[in-house]
Structure formats: structure tokens, C-alpha cells
Amino acid sequence: METIRICDGVDLRIVNEPKFKTNLMSVYFNIPLKRSTVTYAALLPAVLKRGCVKYPTLKDISRRLDDLYSTTVNTGVRTKGDGEVIYFTAEYVSDRFIGESISAEVAEFLKEFIFSPLTVNGSFSEEYVNSEKVNLKNAITGLINDKKEYAEFKCREAMFGQDGFGMFEAGYTEDLDEITPSKLYSFYKDVLNSAKVDIFLSGSTNDKLAETVKKILASVFQPREGVYEKTQIAENIEKPVKNVVEEADVVQSKLCMGLRCGVEPSGNEYPALVLGSCIFGGSPFSKLFMNVREKLSLAYYAVARVAMFKSVMLISSGIQTENYQVAYDEIMAQFKKMQDGVIDEFEIESAKKYLSNSYNSLKDSLRSMEDYYLSQAILGNCGTIDKFIEKINAVTSEQICSVMKNIKLDTVYFLKGKRADGEAE
């Protein structure tokens, strides 16, 4: 990744990967993940996507994108630890495959799309805001329909409260009534003027193309003091474990356990944490899968993953309600094996191959590559995907044991359903 400074707080990042037939042009606004603004941030890109001055309706936008060889535009929010990014991306056919250059036109479209929204009397369209508030409300309330994601969110919320990583990125329904078109527009102007900005140009690129994009987008950005939000990692301190039980009218209960790892994502221990998590519960041959699910049939699924920025491990499983205690005990028994170094060479080598394939697969998607390099930029790293794979392959069993020993259980969240026989527990 090559970085070109446009002005203070605004960087153009070039990811040259000519194997793709499409290019990706993206603008990321990095802001703190705060309770007072999280719902505003979720609503804003949806409203902007409805129309701008030059293309005031979805039909007008669609027609223009069709003219640009069916370019696709996506918007949304994505959490990064205690921060979040509001993003706007345009994927379009690479110039070399169509015999003409449309990169400049795509950049002009993004410029118009982001910086010239449709307004009425100096504010967003009330019709568009009210319509998107309904859609966002449905998305927030719909979280309960995905019981696995819901349990993970409630576990994070129990760990950190309505602060940073503990929040739901789509926001909160109780905020929607207070959001007016003028308040949302004020939030929008603040984001434009103060957020740390990353502009990505990925795919078949060259110096001339980069300079063209820089020239077009540089005209709308002013210098700012914007910086990335620094995420406070979850320190692995000893404290009483929180136990949270919520009852639900479901047959399959969800058990989610949140653990504090205390590992800086840019530190030397992080590759060992990633590898250890994979061996424990991040692959089809992990200890959780092979024992909790396959051997003992205690769970429909049992997985573990690490939230990189926050240094939190989340263990998720779907179980029968009556199996709660025995499933919990077996999960902890397998975790104890990881801490005691009961890991054979086959598990380590299999996990290294699995992770190598997973990280290499990021190179098959421009979106995945952009997300990886954006995360690296936020962390202050410049390491490539290949370099991280090398670090993974250099991890020893002793390093895995060392990092796992320091992980502390923080919260046990249980979404409690009915017994398998249909009776309430």
C-alpha cells in the first residue's frame, strides 16, 4: 500500500493489484464510536444514498451508474474497536478493459454523491430522512431475529456497556425520534470537516490515475486535526465473572462467553493469539468443534473468534437449554487445555495452513484487501498480508500457551430458551 498525503488528516492510499478486472474507489470517514452519535452515523449514509443535487432520486443515480458501465455504489458503517468508519465505495470496470478512462468520472460521481447531498432549506430532505429512519428502526429491531449475532452483541454490551465496542453499530431505536433533518445535517457537516479521512484507490492503478483522483477529491477536503480513535484494549485483569441470563421463546439456546485477552493488536503476541484462537475454536478441526460438537454432541456449533482492535475473544455456541452446565464445563475444559499447552503438532500445523489460506483469500477481494489495509493504517502498521502470514507461521507452541494463560473470562451471557421437550426451563 502506497500512501499520498492530500492535506492534514486526509490520505490517499493506493493498493495496486492489476489481476482484477474492476477497480474500487472508496472514501472512509473515521469517527469515534460514541453513544450520542452512533445512530446518527448509521442513518447518515442511508440518507445520502437516496439522492444528491445532480442525481436527486434513486432512479437518477441508477441511470448514471449504468452509464458508467454498471458501476456499483455501497455505503454504510463499520466498527473498528472503539471507533467506526462511515464508508462510500464505488466498484467499476477497470479502464484497460473498456478502451476508455472512466476513473475520473467515477471520482466526480463520488464527489457529487458525498459532498452535494439533496437539501431543502439548508437541511436534508424530510421525506428521505423519515423513510430511512423507518428502515433503520427495522434493522435495529431485526437484530433479535439473528440469535447468534444478538447473543454476541448482548455479551459485548454486558462487558463494556453502551460505550465504544459495547454498542450496536446500527444504533438505538430510542434515538430515532430526536433525529431531525437539520440535526442530521449538522452531524454530516461535522463529519466532513473534522473526521480523519482515508481515500482508497484499489485495483489496476498507476501514478497518472492516482494524480487524477487526488486532484478531483482534494478540492473538497480542507485540512483538519482528525485522528484515528485509539481503542482501549480489554486488559486481562482478575475480577468477578459477570453472568447474564435472558429468556427467549426459542428452542436452541445461545451461550456466548466474552474473555479479555490484553494483547495489543500491533504487538508481538498478537499472531500467537490468532493462532491459539484458531486451534481452540476457529476452524473445522478446532478443540471446540471436535470435542464439544462432534465427540460429545453438546452444541449445534461452538466457535471462538478474536476481535482484533479490542483484544476480546468471543466464544459462541448454540445448545439445548438442559445442556448448559455440561456444555459450559466442556468449553472451559478445552480452554484449560490451551492454557496448559495440551496442543499437538498436528493441531498447530493444521491451524497455520488454515489461517494462511484464510489470509491469502483476502487477496481475492478488493473490498477485503481495503478493509485489511485500512485496519493496518488505523493501528499504525504498514505490514502486508504476506508478512502477517509469515508471523503466524513462526509462532511456537510455547508462545501460544503463554498468551492463552493470560486470557481472563469476563462475561457469560446465556440466551435461555425452552427445553428440547418443549417445556419451559
Q: Tens of pLDDT along 112-124?
A: 999 999 999 999 9
| Bridge partners, 199 (sequence order) | 12, 27
Please tell me the pTM assigned to this model: 0.94
Average pLDDT over residues 109-138: 96
- pLDDT of residue 149 exceeding 90, the answer is yes
Whole-angstrom distance, CA of residue 110 vs CA of residue 238: 49
Q: Are 104 and 212 in contact (CB under 8 A)?
A: yes
Q: Is the pLDDT at 382 greater than 90, yes or no?
A: no
Question: CA-to-CA distance for 251 and 417, rounded, in angstroms?
Answer: 5
- H or E segment and range at residue 39: helix 38-48
Instruction: Read off the pLDDT of each residue in 210-224 and give the average, rounded to a whole number.
Output: 92
Dihedral sign for Cα 374, 380, 386, 390, please: negative
Confidence of residue 219 (pLDDT cuts 50, 70, 90): confident
The reply to whether 2-218 and 242-416 are identical in fold is yes
369 burial level (CB within 10 Å; 0-12, 13-18, 19+)? buried
State what percent of residues in the chain have pLDDT above 90. Answer: 91
Task: Give every CB contact of residue 297 below 8 A, 6+ residues apart in sequence.
Answer: none
When pLDDT is cut at 50, 70 and 90, the band that residue 424 belongs to is very low
User: Which pLDDT value is given to residue 168?
Assistant: 93
Domain 2-218 has CATH 1.20.1250.20: no
**Portion of the chain with pLDDT greater than 70, in percent:** 98
What is the pLDDT at residue 64? 97
Judge contact between 25 and 107, C-beta under 8 A. yes
Q: Residue ranges of the domains in the chain? A: 2-218, 242-416
**Mean of per-residue pLDDT scores for the chain:** 95
Report the distance separating Cα 71 and Cα 188, nearest Å. Answer: 25
* pLDDT over threshold 90, residue 76: yes
Q: Per-residue pLDDT for 419 more than 70?
A: no
Which cell numbers hold the place of 410? 469476563
8 A C-beta contact, residue 317 and residue 255? yes
Ranges 327-336, 356-365, 380-389, 406-415: which has the least confidence? 380-389
Q: What is the pLDDT of residue 421?
A: 52
Q: Give the sign of the dihedral formed by CA 402, CA 404, CA 409, CA 410.
A: positive
Residues 6+ apart with CB under 8 A from 103: 23, 25, 92, 95, 209, 212, 213
CB 259 within 8 A of CB 156: no
Q: Could you give the 3-state DSSP secondary structure of residue 221?
A: coil
Of residues 262 and 423, more confidence is placed in 262
Instruction: Give the model's confidence band at 425: pLDDT under 50 very low, under 70 low, under 90 confident, else very high.
Output: very low
Q: How far is CA 227 from the centre of its chain?
A: 19
Cell numbers standing for residue 113: 454523491
Question: Which residues touch 152 (CB under 8 Å, ≥6 apart)?
Answer: 256, 314, 316
Q: What is the pLDDT of residues 326-346, one digit of tens each?
A: 999 999 999 999 999 999 999
pLDDT at 304: 98
pLDDT tens by residue, 152-205: 999 999 999 988 999 999 999 999 999 999 999 999 999 999 999 999 999 999
Evaluate if residue 313 carries a pLDDT over 80: yes
- Residue 228 scores a pLDDT above 80: yes
At 99 the pLDDT is 82
Instruction: Please identify, in words, the CATH class of the domain defined by 242-416.
Output: alpha beta
Bridge partners (DSSP) of residue 73 are 90
| Those residues with Cβ within 8 angstroms of residue 197's Cβ, 6 or more apart along the chain or in another chain | 9, 10, 11, 27, 28, 29, 30, 221, 224, 226
Contact criterion met (CB below 8 Å) for 258 and 411 = yes
In this structure, is the dihedral angle defined by the CA atoms of residues 216, 220, 226 and 228, taken in order, positive or negative? negative
pLDDT of residue 381: 84
The confidence score (pLDDT) of residue 231 equals 95
CB of 273 within 8 A of CB of 287? no
pLDDT of 2 strictly over 50: yes
392-402 pLDDT, tens digit each: 999 999 999 99
Nearest to 413 by CA among 331, 314, 332: 314
For residue 225, pLDDT beyond 50: yes
Place of cell 472503539: 82
* Cα 271 to Cα 265: distance, rounded to the nearest angstrom: 9
- Provide the pLDDT for residue 163: 84
